[in-house]
Amino acid sequence: MKKFSLLLLIAVLFAGCGMRGDRGHVIGVQDRPSDFYADPPGMVYVPMGSFTMGPSDQDIAYAQNATSRTVSVPAFYMDETEITNNQYRQFVYWVRDSIARNMLYLDGGIEDYVQMDLEDAYGVPYDPPFLDWDAGIDFADLDDEELIILMEGGLFHMDEGERFFRRREIDVDRLEYRYFTIDLREAARYTPQQRREEGIVRQDFVTEHTTHVYPDTLVWIRDFTYSYNEPMTKMYFWHPTYDHYPVVGVNWDQARAFNVWRTQYLNSHLAGQGQPFAMDFELPSETQWEYAARGGLDLSPYPWGGPYMRTKEGCFLANFKPLRGDYTATGAMYTTIAGYYPPNDYGLYDMAGNVSEWTRNTYDESFYYFGPDMNPDFQHEFDPATDHISMSRKVIRGGSWKDIGYFLQVSTRAYEYQDTAKSYIGFRSVQTYPGASREMMEQRNPSNVW
């Protein structure tokens, strides 16, 4: 026994002295993934910087909800246009296909659309198994067994009162996305010692959400009672003509759910490639939004500069309600194709007009007075059981096709309740840049491509 212990001690000493490769020095953990980070497709890099946030001219509406002050913002990416109908439809289809695959396996025992051979790190098969996205599912060519399972599960309309022209259609009310968020701000209130003493675990800060994902297409009628907008209700989200128009009828909760899905969708691909996870996609803060909208032109009222809203040839620079209500003067009656008007100096389109845009921030008239000057951000998770309804107000920015020029100014603040959808509100995503600046990263990785 003594001989064995001596041999073990010698082996440990040799392993500690000569086999590590670092020769006893601190050189960092080796074989880490590459820090290379390429520009996400369809997004524009916005460099870090400071700017004067707030009105640069008189408060025309006497809103008194903003004051001018200097704030600093780290670098981030932003979608060059609002999320379009076709981009959001990818999210809707993913939710639809996920529900269908789960129904076929859980209710019908069909294993064609799941990966039965995957196991965790301990060799235990996943239960339920992961979905197999390589196995295509064709809703127009389902066999009888699959069709019955999906109909009995409620994915298709079965009630005759819900059918129209006897079409077999997806019940969009069943398209729900379940996801989770973690409240890091609440977690930060406790020190590690407090968490240990009070038995607090990570799950205490995790909240489960379930959100309907299908846009409310009836907003075109609901928003304008005595206007004939039925064609927009019927076709705007589905007709190929509108594929590259900004999605509307999406409330704040749906916009957040889209960004959670977008993050997980990318990370699942990166994990399969052995790459580190990407930064989260989010709605922009109103500080990020205004900084990006200005395009580096400080103290200018509009994304293109100002103070005029036409080119020297007399063409309008955004889609809004000009003159005395001549909607068609800008070239569009309602929304128009994303990116139709010229971009600002950061390469961002439609930061003024077309559709207003959700931000992630809760609206407070006095936020500019109590918010910090370092990347200001005011978020509140609304609880209908305890919070006043005013705490569900979220900031919207940019003005829309139905707004006058005042709402197109980069400093104008407005709000809408987070559970409401409108025919004139859309959104775009941001992604925080990992590191100080892209310029610093490009010195290490000159090739910046996907």
Q: Is the peptide bond before 246 cis (omega within 30 degrees of 0)?
A: no
Give backbone dihedrals phi and psi of 130, rounded to 5 degrees, phi first: -70, 150
Mapping DSSP onto H, E and C, the string for 306-338 reads: CCCCECCCCCECCCCCCCCCCHHHHCCCCCCCC
Say if 19 falls within a structural domain.
no
What the block records as the tokens of 205 is 């800060």
Strand ordering across the sheet containing 393-397: 414-417, 393-397, 356-362, 425-426
Say if 108 falls within a structural domain.
no
Say if 301 falls within a structural domain.
yes
E strand residue ranges, 91-205: 114-115, 130-131, 176-182
Dihedral over alpha carbons 312, 318, 321, 324 (to 10 degrees): 0
> Which residues are paired to 395 by β-bridges?
415
Say if 384 falls within a structural domain.
yes
Residues 6+ apart with CB under 8 A from 154: 171, 174
Q: How far apart are the first and last CA of the chain?
A: 58
Q: Please state, in angstroms and rounded to a whole number, the distance separating the CA atoms of residues 254 and 341.
A: 27
**Predicted local distance difference test score (pLDDT) of residue 83:** 98
Say if 393 falls within a structural domain.
yes
In 283-433, alpha helices (H) = 286-294, 367-370
Residues 6+ apart with CB under 8 A from 27: none
Please check whether residue 438 is in contact with residue 45, taking contact to mean a CB–CB distance below 8 angstroms: yes
**Predicted local distance difference test score (pLDDT) of residue 129:** 83
pLDDT digit string (tens) for the chain, length 450 residues: 555 555 555 554 445 454 567 888 998 888 887 776 778 999 999 999 999 998 877 777 777 778 889 999 999 999 999 999 999 999 999 999 999 999 898 888 888 888 888 877 788 888 778 888 888 888 878 888 888 888 888 888 766 666 676 667 888 889 999 999 999 999 999 999 999 999 999 999 999 999 999 999 999 999 999 999 999 999 999 999 999 999 999 999 999 999 999 999 999 988 888 888 999 999 999 999 999 999 999 889 999 988 899 998 999 999 999 988 899 999 999 999 999 999 999 999 999 999 999 999 999 999 999 999 999 999 999 999 999 999 999 999 999 999 999 999 999 999 999 999 999 999 999 999 998 887 777 776 655 544
Please check whether residue 258 is in contact with residue 266, taking contact to mean a CB–CB distance below 8 angstroms: no
Query: Reduced to 3 states, what is the DSSP secondary structure of residue 247?
Result: coil
Parallel/antiparallel/unpaired status of strands 43-46 and 49-53: unpaired
Please check whether residue 357 is in contact with residue 338, taking contact to mean a CB–CB distance below 8 angstroms: no
**Predicted local distance difference test score (pLDDT) of residue 132:** 84
What the block records as the tokens of 398 is 């940019």
Please check whether residue 314 is in contact with residue 282, taking contact to mean a CB–CB distance below 8 angstroms: no
Say if 2 falls within a structural domain.
no
**Predicted local distance difference test score (pLDDT) of residue 450:** 43
Question: What CATH number has the domain bearing residue 227?
Answer: 3.90.1580.10
Say if 112 falls within a structural domain.
no
**Predicted local distance difference test score (pLDDT) of residue 106:** 87
Angle between helices 252-272 and 85-106 (to 10 degrees): 70
Q: Is the peptide bond before 47 cis (omega within 30 degrees of 0)?
A: no
What 13-22 contacts at long range (C-beta under 8 Å, 24+ apart), as own/partner pairs, is none
pTM over 0.75, yes/no: yes
Say if 117 falls within a structural domain.
no
Structural domain including 386 reads: 50-84+216-450
Task: Check residue 192 and report its DSSP letter.
Answer: H
Number of domains in the chain: 1
